[in-house]
Chains A and B, each alone.
Chain A
Amino acid sequence: MTVAPAMRILVVEDEVLIALELEYLLQDLGYETVGVAGSSAEAIALGRSTSPDVALVDIHLVDGPTGVDVARALSADPRTTVVFMTANSKRIPEDFAGAFGVIAKPYSERVVASALTYVAERRAGAGPGAAPDGLSLAPNA
Chain B
Amino acid sequence: MTDDDRSALDAFSLADGIFAAAFSASPTPMVVTDARQPDNPIVWANTAFVALTGYGLDELRGHNCRMLQGPDSDPAEIRRIGGAIAAARTIECELFNYRKDGTPFWNAMTIAPVRDASGELAYFFAAQADMTDKRRFEMAMRGTNDELERQVDARTADLQSALEQKTALLHEVDHRVKNNLQVISSLMLLKARRTPEGEARDALQSMAERVGALSTAHRMLYSAGDVSRFNLQDFAADLLADLSVGLEEDRTRLESEVDPIAVSAAMAAPLALMIHELATNAVRHAFPGGRAGRISVTARRDGEALHLVIEDDGVGMSATGTNPAGFGRSLAEMVVRQLRGTIRWDDASPGTRVDISVPLESGI
Residues of A within 8 A of B (CB): 15, 17-18, 20-22, 24-25, 60, 87-90, 104-110, 113, 133-134
Contact = CB atoms under 8 A, between A and B. Distances in A.
Q: Which of B182, B215, B241 has the most CB of A within 10 A?
A: B182
Nearest 9 pairs of A and B residues by beta carbon = A87-B178, A106-B215, A21-B186, A106-B181, A106-B182, A17-B186, A88-B175, A110-B245, A18-B186
A90 B171 contact: yes
Contact of B216 (A22, A60, A108): A108
B185 A106 contact: yes
14 contacts: A15-B182, A18-B183, A60-B179, A87-B179, A104-B178, A105-B181, A106-B179, A106-B212, A106-B218, A107-B182, A108-B215, A108-B242, A110-B242, A133-B238
Contacts of A88: 171, 175
B187 interface: yes
Interface residues of B, number: 26
Nearest to A18: B186
A106 B186 CA distance: 10
B190 interface: yes
Contacts of B237: 133
A89 B175 CA distance: 9
Contact of A21 (B177, B189, B238, B242): B189
Q: Which of A20, A87, A107 has the most CB of B within 10 A?
A: A87
B347 interface: no
Nearest to B176: A87
A43 B253 CA distance: 43
B89 interface: no
